[in-house]
Amino acid sequence: MLERKQLTNIELYALKALKTPNAGHLIAKWLMGLMVLFFVILFLPWQQNIRGKGKVSAFTPENRPQSVESAIAGRISNWNIREGQFVEVGDTILTLSEVKDKYFDPELLTRLKEQVTAKEKSIESKQKKSEALENQIEALEKALVVKYQQAENKVTQTQLKLESDSIDYLAEEVRYDNFKNQYERNKVLYDAGNIALTKFQDIESKYQEGRMKVVSAENKFLQAKAELINAQVDLSAVQAEYQDKISKASSDLNATLSDVFESQASLAKLKNEFANMEIRNNQYQVIAPQSGYVVKAMRAGIGETIKEGEGVVTIVPADPDVAVEMYIQAMDVPLLSQGRKVRIEFDGWPALQFTGWPSVAVGTFGGVVQVIDYMNSGNGEFRILVTPDPDDEPWPKQLRLGSGTKGWVMLDDVPIWYELWRQLNGFPPSLYREPFQAAEDKEKEDESQDY
């Protein structure tokens, strides 16, 4: 026991004699300090963000690169510009020559104009003919009224004459009956020898004369009857005759009007063709639709044939309203809203970006979300348009359309430990307040502090 106790004391003495190096104490202190610092850093604020890539574009479509197309098919006969040249609105880019045999005639416009003039004169003549036919129909209608009245008057006159002749006929019959009775009585007397032959012959003569007058009156009566029938027939004939003439004139009028309408349709077609030719003649020069720089000629050689609607050159506006076209993941779209701040890094501009602390970033530029597409771009990503932030440093003037960009849409502040936990678990960023709502809350806090 005593030996073991002496051995233990010797070992403890050795430990007491051994001193810990100063470097170990220093390392321990540094490690403890780093642990405390790391623990403190975990509670520092970190601004969440959504990353995206894209390119420099223009905010309004009219300021984006535009392909100038030819409205007609043709053959290039002359170039008036070169690539890289600045052109104004209305400048001639190139001149075309015709390739369709239908338009080879150099006097085609003049001949079409002559056809239009001839068709107009033809229509004018047909319209005058239709007016003459209308006047003819009006005259026939008036003549029908006059002739019909004349025929009615003749019928009335014939009726009166028939009535007069019938009365004369009846009177002659009465007179004849009287002469007949007188003749029969005197004949008896003459046969008895009571009257002279001369007197009997005188009475017989009156009897024969009365008989003749009856026959004559009957003939006149029958003649008047026939005249009345003829007058009535003429009355119907007059109406039928003039109706036939009026119908024929109306038929001619309708045929003429039909020709007029057909000619007017042909005239409209000719005018349309003439107008198209005038417009086509102005399409032989391809005109610059806006001011800008010619960056690419899609056709080069003299004599090359181009089709209708085929691009000839591309024009980039000289001073476009620059914006950034960024693409973000679909899972991040619900977290976006118009007005969100964006930090942008342009290709060719060195930058050092701290995504969670944008205030210490170097070489990045500020932007604002203006447009968020309502449908994806076909690859599962959504496009947003970002314009320069008026409250931040202006974007470089040397930016070219199509340059690549990287962007970070800034969200809200969270502790660093939460961001690390989110990244390890693959969760989307959290969004607590809209940017405008956050700004309003900040203003209210400032006002309350002022009071």
DSSP string across 26-84: HHHHHHHHHHHHHHHHTTSEEEEEEEEEEEEEESSGGGS-EEEE-SS-EEEEEE---TT
d(CA 359, CA 357): 5
> Could you read off the pLDDT of 336-372 as tens digits, one per residue?
888 888 888 888 777 555 555 555 455 688 899 999 9
Q: Pick the more confident residue, 106 or 275.
A: 275
Class of domain 47-63+320-450 as given by CATH: mainly beta
pLDDT at 357: 52
Range of weakest confidence among 186-190, 237-241, 302-306: 186-190
pLDDT at 439 over 60: no
**pLDDT band at 385; cut points 50, 70, 90:** very high
CATH of domain 66-98+284-316: 2.40.50.100
Q: Mutual orientation of helices 197-282 and 108-192 as an angle, nearest 10°?
A: 170
Domain-by-domain residue ranges, the chain?
Answer: 1-41, 47-63+320-450, 66-98+284-316, 108-282
**pLDDT band at 436; cut points 50, 70, 90:** very low
DSSP string across 303-331: T-EE-TT-EEEEEE-SS--EEEEEEEEGG
pTM score, two decimals?
A: 0.55
**pLDDT band at 244; cut points 50, 70, 90:** confident
**pLDDT band at 325; cut points 50, 70, 90:** very high
Range of weakest confidence among 40-49, 87-96, 188-197, 276-285: 40-49
**pLDDT band at 396; cut points 50, 70, 90:** confident
Query: What value does the mean pLDDT take over residues 300-318?
Result: 83
Query: What value does the mean pLDDT take over residues 123-146?
Result: 87
d(CA 435, CA 411): 8
> Could you read off the pLDDT of 149-186 as tens digits, one per residue?
887 888 788 787 777 777 777 877 777 777 777 777 77
CATH of domain 108-282: 1.20.1270.60
Pair 56, 324: CB distance under 8 Å? yes
Question: Which residue in 312, 267, 265 sits closest to 285, CA to CA?
Answer: 312
pLDDT at 108: 81
> Could you read off the pLDDT of 29-62 as tens digits, one per residue?
788 888 877 777 666 666 667 788 899 988 888 8
d(CA 289, CA 327): 30
**Which two tokens mark 279?**
């417009």
> Could you read off the pLDDT of 423-432 as tens digits, one per residue?
676 656 654 4
**pLDDT band at 413; cut points 50, 70, 90:** low
| Domain 66-98+284-316 and domain 108-282 have a common topology | no
SS3 338: coil
Q: What percent of the chain has pLDDT over 70?
A: 81
pLDDT at 236 over 60: yes
d(CA 126, CA 132): 10
Pair 137, 253: CB distance under 8 Å? yes
d(CA 352, CA 31): 29
